[in-house]
């Protein structure tokens, strides 16, 4: 709401008419991949989020903790960029340690070439939480079939969003286990 007020004020200052602002706000459908709840069926809540910086991860995880008290939170994180992983590995580890269980995917390289010595293991090895594992994107849907009821939080700026549906399909099969 506060963002809409700020955007409206700036639009007015830029000469946009109140009528145009009302029309624009009426058709705004929201932001994708920011705390985007993909499933909430009483057994699982699946949330997709674009978080890709340690402080974004911390804030997202803390929000989930505040909203879903006493629920197990399984986080799936895909680091984005080799350089960011190298520079922020300790911060990523500290933020991800706030989760009950962590699944790290391989780094999404985007525009970068691999850097020697930089992989998801850089984060993994600095984490204090022992409920952690690294897996490939291809392995994640099968692994999701073993997730315990609770919150599944998928985070990252790479192509992790392409895994939301396959993970959701596995979570929906929980009652059939």
Instruction: State pTM to two decimals.
Output: 0.83
- Check residue 4 and give its pLDDT: 72
Q: Per-residue pLDDT for the chain (177 aa), expressed as one digit of tens each? A: 666 777 778 878 888 888 887 887 777 666 666 789 999 999 999 999 999 999 999 999 999 999 999 999 999 999 999 999 999 999 999 999 999 999 999 999 999 999 999 999 999 999 999 999 999 999 999 999 999 999 999 999 999 999 999 999 999 998 776
Q: Cβ distance 73 to 151 under 8 Å?
A: yes
pLDDT at 145: 94
Cβ neighbours of 30 (radius 10 Å) = 6
Question: Three-state SS for 39?
Answer: strand
What does residue 2 show for φ and ψ, rounded to 5 degrees?
-65, -35
Do 123 and 93 contact (CB within 8 A), yes or no?
yes
Q: Within 13 Å, how many C-alpha atoms sit on residue 18's CB side?
A: 0
Residue 176's pLDDT is 72
Taking 3-state DSSP, the helix, strand and coil percentages for the chain, each rounded to the nearest 5, stand at 45, 20, 40
- Alpha helices in the chain, H assignment, sequence order: 2-13, 18-27, 54-67, 82-96, 120-124, 140-144, 164-172
């Amino acid at each position: 709401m506060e963002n809409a007020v700020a955007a409206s004020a700036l639009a007015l200052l830029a000469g946009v008419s109140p009528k145009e602002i009302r029309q624009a706000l009426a058709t705004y459908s929201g932001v994708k991949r920011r705390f985007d709840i993909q499933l909430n069926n009483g057994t699982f809540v699946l949330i997709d989020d674009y978080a890709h910086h340690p402080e974004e991860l911390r804030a997202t995880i803390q929000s989930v903790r505040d909203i879903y008290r006493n629920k197990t939170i399984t986080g799936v994180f895909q680091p984005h960029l080799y350089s960011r992983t190298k520079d922020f590995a300790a911060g990523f580890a500290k933020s991800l340690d706030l989760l009950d269980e962590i699944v790290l995917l391989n780094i999404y390289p985007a525009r970068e070439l691999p850097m020697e010595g930089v992989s998801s293991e850089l984060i993994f090895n600095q984490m204090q939480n022992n409920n952690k594992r690294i897996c490939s994107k291809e392995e994640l849907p099968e692994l999701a079939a073993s997730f315990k009821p609770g919150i599944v939080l998928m985070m990252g700026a790479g192509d992790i969003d392409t895994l939301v549906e396959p993970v959701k399909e596995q979570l929906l099969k929980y009652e059939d286990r």
